[in-house]
Structure 1
Amino acid sequence: MSPPDRIRETLPAHRDSEPRSRQMRMRSRLFQLSLLACWLACFPNFGLAAETADAYAEQVEPYVRKYCLECHHDEDAKGDLDLTRYARANDVIGSFRTWNHIVEFIRNGEMPPKDSPQPTIDESNAVVAAVRGILVTEAKKQAGDPGFVPPRRLSNTEYDLSVRELTGIDIRPTRDFPPDPAGGEGFDNTGEALGMSPNLLKKYLSAAQFVADHLVLRTSGIAFAPFPVTSYNERKKLTEQAIIDFYE
């Protein structure tokens, strides 16, 4: 076979390989774009995190080191406020209540004290804006997230009052329930304190049956008697009471 013939035979293969190479490049680019999209989806606040870190390093840390550490460092810190504990923006976020107070002290001119070197108004305004920016950025990241929400149930008092409002009778179906534990704030209706045990669930079922035992069917609808009406004598007693009430 002559050399030109060999060249002609290889030309079709060369034409086929060029589209394949282009497809491979396109697939590679699509794969890279997919990885970038996944990364952005997993870390949507990466830019915000870098911004808050820069704000702390550029505005807050120099201010604290220059005007605050003289009084607020180590174990002898004034007011038990040791500012050496805060080395980055995340430390500020983790103690946002403390830093809200610090911002107010700076705005009111209480920090630094009068006998210490004083910052300019621009310096104080800049650090206040930086701290608030860090906290607002974190708040926006967590917007709409209520945190852990425990399952809720009515407290014993709430359950009794609900039954009274719905039936018109005060029968207190939780009288045999264990007392509700009080939460850390002293209230007995906090979700963290109101658990539900298997034994308590059985008592709720018994309480529901107790309420149902007071139900009376009438031509005008349903009503609830002030005592259980599950036997003939109880229904007779209820009828007699209705007659007495009618003539009174």
Structure 2
Amino acid sequence: MRARSSCAEMLRLIRTVRDVMRNVILLTLVTSVLTGHAPAQDVVEFLRSNCVRCHGVEKSKGDLRLDKALEVSEEENSLELWQSILDRVGAGEMPPDGESQPSKAERTAFLKSVRQQISEAAGRHRRQTILRRLNRAQFRNTLSDLLHLDFTVDDPTDAFPADDKQ
């Protein structure tokens, strides 16, 4: 019974890490899309040689047009599109069986290049986080919610400095 519980906890942890990593990738993809930078040339060539034949102007299987991903446009370079490309190519689902396949080196280089662009885009848009403190009422309500305490008699925020007037 203990081993089954431990295995379930490990699977839950793996899923959580996977979801966090997916969200990090999504966030950085959004950042790269919003910068308006064109994809790197090797990414463009990979898409043209392996994807646009089935997902282009003449054919758009699955209502997916990757020829538009080659243009720099916030509308066309959507987060969902780039996430789908990374997921499908990374999992080996695309190009599908029966189509010409990129070599393992080409696939790896493509994925590495996309990830590198994501990382660079995230670095370009790092902003300093502005830290704000809670005012007295917010702090009191937070403590009350978290600790289920009633502060009507003894208010811990009485000793705090006065809130700034805005």
CA distance in 2 between counterparts of 1:104 and 1:86 reads: 15
In the TM superposition, structure 1's runs of 4+ consecutive aligned residues that sit over 4 Å from their partners are 88-94, 157-162
Q: TM-score, normalised by structure 1?
A: 0.36
- Any idea what SS the aligned residue of 1:86 has? helix
Name the counterpart of 1:130: 113
Structure 2: any 5+ residue segments left out of the alignment?
Answer: 1-34, 131-136, 156-166
State the Cα deviation string for residues 104-143 of structure 1 (Å, max 9, x = none): 2112210101111111111111111111111111111122
CA distance in 1 between counterparts of 2:44 and 2:96 reads: 18
Name the counterpart of 1:56: 40
- Of the candidates 41, 58, 62, which is equivalent to residue 79 of structure 1? 62
Could you tell me which amino acid in structure 2 is paired with residue 60 of structure 1?
Answer: V
Whether 1:167 and 2:151 are equivalent positions in the alignment is yes
How much does 1:85 deviate? 1.2
Distance 1:83 1:60, change over 3 A: same
CA distance in 2 between counterparts of 1:80 and 1:146 reads: 39
Could you tell me which amino acid in structure 2 is paired with residue 128 of structure 1?
Answer: L
Name the counterpart of 2:158: none
- If asked which structure has higher relative contact order (CA below 8 Å, sep 6+), I would say 2
Task: Count residues in correspondence.
Answer: 115
Distance 1:89 1:123, change over 3 A: farther
CA distance in 2 between counterparts of 1:146 and 1:90 reads: 28
Whether 1:103 and 2:109 are equivalent positions in the alignment is no
How much does 1:89 deviate? 6.3
- 8 A contact 1:69–1:84 mirrored in 2: yes
- 8 A contact 1:96–1:135 mirrored in 2: no
CA distance in 1 between counterparts of 2:129 and 2:64 reads: 29
Whether 1:65 and 2:48 are equivalent positions in the alignment is yes
Could you tell me which amino acid in structure 2 is paired with residue 165 of structure 1?
Answer: L
Larger radius of gyration: 1
Name the counterpart of 1:114: 97
- Any idea what SS the aligned residue of 1:165 has? coil
How much does 1:159 deviate? 10
How much does 1:97 deviate? 4.2
CA distance in 2 between counterparts of 1:61 and 1:104 reads: 17
Q: TM-score, normalised by structure 2?
A: 0.51
Distance 1:132 1:88, change over 3 A: farther
